[in-house]
């Protein structure tokens, strides 16, 4: 298993609309999706597109949001994770486990904000960097990645 292209960088923020305005005003990154709620993931998201990837702006949604803890420590927000594409999410998950990394949650891939299965690997395994692995959308054949 070898990671593929960087799909997006996740940025936690208390307000995705305000954050999107900053990327547009300061950096001219005006190509952005409307804000979308993902209640099942506990996040509200705007994707800002740049030529080679996206910036995933993430705001907590609901009390159980996985972003709450991050914003408690970093109230103004900050860089939250990096997401790389993998050709097969199940194989990637199994390789992570056999290489001694900690897959967060149940360890089962689930459908993320991009509509393809993802897993997250604990930041302690990568010097403090939370890594998301995403089924390569071009190779996705349906629920579960197979």
> According to CB under 5 A, which one of 9, 10, 12, 93 is a site residue for Co ion?
10
85, 93, 116, 132: which one binds Co ion (CB under 5 A):
132
Name the DSSP class of 89: H
Closest CB to Co ion among residues 10, 77: 10
57 burial class (0-12, 13-18, 19+ CB within 10 angstroms)?
A: buried
Task: Catalytic residue, from 56, 59, 85, 132: name it.
Answer: 132
Given the DSSP bridges, would you call strands 78-86 and 130-135 parallel, antiparallel or unpaired? parallel
Nearer to Co ion, 66 or 87 (CB): 66
Task: Count CA atoms within 13 Å of residue 120 on its CB side.
Answer: 16
Active site residue 59: no
Please tell me whether residue 46 binds Co ion under the rule CB under 5 A: no
Residue closer to Co ion by CB (options 25, 137) is 137
DSSP letter for each residue of 21-53? HHHHHHH----BPPPEEETTTTEEEEEEEETTE
Q: Is 109 in the site for Co ion (CB under 5 A)?
A: no
Q: Give min distance, CB of 131 to Co ion, in A.
A: 10
Binding-site ranges for Co ion (CB under 5 A)? 10, 56, 83, 132
Residues with a known catalytic role: 132
């Amino acid at each position: 298993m070898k990671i593929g292209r960087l799909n997006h960088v996740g940025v936690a923020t208390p307000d995705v609309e305000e954050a999107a305005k900053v990327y547009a005003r300061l950096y001219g990154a005006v190509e952005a999706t409307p804000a979308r709620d993902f209640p099942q993931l506990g996040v509200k998201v705007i994707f800002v597109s740049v030529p080679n990837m996206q910036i995933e702006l993430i705001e907590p949604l609901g009390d159980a949001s996985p972003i709450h803890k991050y914003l408690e420590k970093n109230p103004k927000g900050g860089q939250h994770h990096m997401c790389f594409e993998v050709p097969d999410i199940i194989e990637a998950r199994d390789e992570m486990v056999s290489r001694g990394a900690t897959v967060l949650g149940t360890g089962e891939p689930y459908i993320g904000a991009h509509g393809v299965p993802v897993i997250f690997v604990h930041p302690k395994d990568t010097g403090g960097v939370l890594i998301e692995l995403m089924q390569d959308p071009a190779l996705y054949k349906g629920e579960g990645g197979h």
